Structure 1
Amino acid sequence: MSADTRPARPSAIAGYEDWPAYVRQHPRYRAATAAAQELSDALGVPAVSRLQEVTVQWEETYDGVTTSQLSWQLGFGPATTGWLVRPADSAGPLPGVLALHCHGGNKFGGADRLVELPTNHPSAEAARAGHYDGHALATETARRGFAVLAHDSFAWGSRRFDLSTPPWRTASALEARRAQWREDGVVPSEADDYNASAAFHEDTVAKTAGLLGTSLAGMVAHDDLAALDILAGLPGVDADRLGCVGFSGGGGRSLALAVLSPRIRASVVTCMMTTFQSLLPAYLDAHSWLLQTPGLWKLGDWPELTARSDAGFLVQYALADELFPEDGMRQAHRVLETLHRDGKYIGAFWPGGHVFTTAMQEEAIDFLAGALHLKTPFTTAL
Structure 2
Amino acid sequence: MKRRAFTTLPAAALLPAATPPGTGAGTPPPADAVESPGVVHGNLPAFYERLRADLTYPDAWGHSPIRDFGAWRRHARALVERHLVHPADDRLPFRPRVLDERKTGRGYVRRLVAFDLTRYSRVRAALLTPDRPGPHPAVLLLHDHGARFDIGKEKLVEPWYDEARLASAREWTARLMSGRFAGDELAARGYAVLAVDTLGWGDRGGLVYDQQQALASNLYELGGSPAGLAAREDVRAAAFLASLPQVDRRRVGVIGFSMGGFRAWQVAALSDHVAAAVSACWLTTVADMMVVGNNTLRGQSAFWMLHPGLTRHLDIPDVATIAAPKPLMAFGGELDTLFTPAGVAAAHARLRAVWSAQHAGDRLVTRIYPGKGHVFDADMQEDSFAWLDRALDRTR
1:321 corresponding residue in structure 2:
336
- The answer as to 2:209 corresponding to 1:209 is no
Distance in 2 between residues matched to 1:78 and 1:305, nearest whole Å = 26
Q: Percent identical across equivalent pairs?
A: 30
The 3-state SS of whatever aligns with 1:222 is helix
Distance, in Å, in 1 between the alignment partners of 2:85 and 2:290 is 24
Within the candidate set 370, 373, 377, 1:357 is matched to: 377
Is the Cα–Cα contact under 8 Å of residues 51 and 74 in structure 1 kept in the other structure?
Answer: no
How far the C-alpha of 1:124 sits from its partner, in A, is 1.9
Matched, 1:347 2:366: yes
What corresponds to 1:55 in structure 2? 97
Matched with 1:334 is 349
Counterpart for residue 370 of structure 1: 390
Q: Which residue of 1 aligns with 2:314?
A: 300
What is residue 80 of structure 1 aligned with on the other side? 123
Deviations 1:319-357 (A, max 9, x none): 100211111111212221111112232101113110001
Indicate conservation of the 8 Å contact 2:255/2:261, yes or no: yes
> 1:143: Cα distance to partner?
1.4
* Superposed counterparts of 1:1-382, under 5 Å: 33-48=74-89, 50-64=92-106, 65-74=108-117, 79-87=122-130, 89-118=131-160, 119-120=162-163, 121=165, 122-160=167-205, 163=206, 198-281=208-291, 282-283=293-294, 284-285=296-297, 287-310=301-324, 311-341=326-356, 342-343=360-361, 344-351=363-370, 352-375=372-395
> Secondary structure in 2 aligned to 1:241?
strand
Letter in 1 for 2:336: D
Per-residue Cα deviation, 1:165-197 (whole angstroms, up to 9, x for no partner): xxxxxxxxxxxxxxxxxxxxxxxxxxxxxxxx5
1:6 aligned residue: none
SS in 2 for 1:214: coil
Structure 2: where are the runs of 5+ without partners?
A: 1-72
RMSD: 1.9
Structure 2 residue identity aligned to 1:295: G
Q: Which runs of 5+ in 1 are unaligned?
A: 1-31, 164-196, 377-382
Q: TM-score normalized by structure 1?
A: 0.76
Q: Distance in 2 between matches of 1:345 and 1:205?
A: 36
Structure-2 separation of matches of 1:229 and 1:75 = 12
Deviation readout 1:56-98 (Å, 9 max, x if unpaired): 11111114121111112346666311111122x3222111110
Whichever residue aligns with residue 342 of structure 2, its letter is D
CA distance in 1, matches of 2:209, 2:313: 28
In structure 2, how many angstroms separate the alpha carbons of the residues matched to 1:73 and 1:263? 18
Question: Per-residue CA shift, 1:288-308, capped at 9, x if unaligned?
Answer: 211233223123221121221
The superposition leaves residues 193-249 of structure 1 with CA deviations (integer Å, 9 ceiling, x where unpaired) of: xxxx52111111211222233221111112212211211111210011111010000
Rounded Cα–Cα distance in structure 2 between residues aligned with 1:292 and 1:235? 35
CA distance in 2, matches of 1:106, 1:138: 19
SS of 1:53's partner is coil
Are 2:149 and 2:201, in contact at CA under 8 Å, matched by a contact in 1?
yes
1:33: Cα distance to partner?
2.6
Distance 1:47 1:337, change over 3 A: same
Q: Alignment length, in residue pairs?
A: 309
Contact 1:247–1:356 under 8 Å retained in 2: yes
Which structure would you say has the larger RCO, counting Cα contacts within 8 Å and 6 or more residues apart?
1
Deviates more, 1:47-56 or 1:266-275: 47-56
Q: Report how far residue 52 of structure 1 moved.
A: 4.4
Shift of 1:137: 0.9
Structure 1 residue 272: Cα displacement: 0.2
Which is greater in Rg? 2
User: In the superposition, relative to structure 1, how do residues 299 and 130 fare at CA in structure 2: closer, same or farther (>3 Å)?
Assistant: farther
> 1:374, CA displacement in angstroms?
0.6
Q: Offset at 1:277?
A: 0.8
Q: Quick one: which amino acid aligns to residue 371 of structure 1?
A: A
